[in-house]
Amino acid sequence: MKEKKEILVTGGTGFIGSHTVVELLELGYQPVIFDNCSNSSKAIIKQIALITGKECAFYKGDMRDKALLRSVFEKYSIQGVIHFAACKAVAESVAKPLHYYDNNLISLLNLFACMEEFQVNKLVFSSSCTVYGVENSIEPLNETMPMGKPNSPYGWTKWMAEQMLIDIAGKSALRPVILRYFNPIGAHPGGKLGEMPNGVPNNVLPYITQTAAGLREELTIFGNDYQTPDGTCVRDYIHVTDVAKAHVRALEFPVEGTLDVFNLGTGKGTSVLELVRIFEKLTGKPLNYRFGARRPGDVDALYADVSKAKKFLNWNTERTIEDAILDAWKWEQYRLKNEIF
């Protein structure tokens, strides 16, 4: 009988988490999802099953509830953890710093305690390019750069989480892989799974698609006076399925030493205004947009050096920014037609 590879996926109904669950199921793993659905929906579980033809276990709960989290470790033979569960909006973190520190760090401490108790050593941690800080915000960022000073409480929670991993991995059997990704966008190529934020989107592409679909009156581009070619922020937009595939590669990666770190991006920057214009060109849908004030915590430009992930994870991006835009638009139309909320 083939051994079941049970993998705990925290935040598994979220945008990147759900796409990673699809990849895990298709490769024969048995994902166990733990999510409080604070910025997602349980409806995503049905979409995952629709795509894969497979079911997975789901627990709705807050990771700050250590007893509930521990009960999952008791019930299943967890082989590894992919940890996505966290609040992740830069501007919101500036407005609600206490909530971000409490949620993102207490959850992680509880996870560490459960992993230690049940002798689970493999962890793939969802980090962010924000840990590079404002000092390194223009040139392509690589993993040899020291962590800088993040520009938001969200960024600091990722910075602190990475430091916790360094300290704990050095004194325990934990062998984490840290993935610092840039700006995941898009949807599953079949159009039946994608980003579904609760309320007003914090990320730009779902705001674009919702504006094009008539759900939002207009798109606000925050700032047009940045030190970039067209004045709008430049980001490294990467297709979500490429990000999901990298998590599975990281799960299987044999860590040498105590931990390892990889950037996930395309290595190419695209401005927000460019993203809008590409969407209009591909879909033929003109967007009602205006320029607004800068958002707290945003920096001019962030894009990745991804040579390390290509070399050691044997990973590369397969889908383009055009693919991401069309897949996201396909998902938006499917979601509205089928009333998935």
**For residue 338, what are its two tokens?**
């089928």
> Residue 185 pairs with which residues in a beta bridge?
239
Helices (DSSP H) in 170-319: which residue ranges?
204-212, 240-252, 272-283, 307-312
CA atoms of 12 and 45, how far apart (whole Å):
9
**For residue 113, what are its two tokens?**
């305690």
CA atoms of 255 and 14, how far apart (whole Å):
27
**For residue 220, what are its two tokens?**
């606000």
CA atoms of 268 and 306, how far apart (whole Å):
10
What string of DSSP letters covers 148-171?
Answer: ---SSHHHHHHHHHHHHHHHHHTT
CA dihedral 88, 280, 215, 333 (to 10 degrees): -90
DSSP label of 246: H
Q: Give the Å distances, CA to CA, from 189 to 20, 22, 52, 63, 258.
A: 14, 12, 13, 31, 36
CA atoms of 135 and 117, how far apart (whole Å):
39
Nearest Cα to Cα of residue 75 among 162, 8, 164, 167: 8
Q: Which of 154, 181, 237, 303 is catalytic?
A: 154
CA atoms of 299 and 304, how far apart (whole Å):
14
Q: Which amino acid is at 249?
A: R
Nearest Cα to Cα of residue 193 among 22, 5, 312: 22
DSSP label of 222: E
| Residue 154 designated active-site | yes
120: phi then psi, degrees, rounded to nearest 5: -100, 115
Active site residues: 154
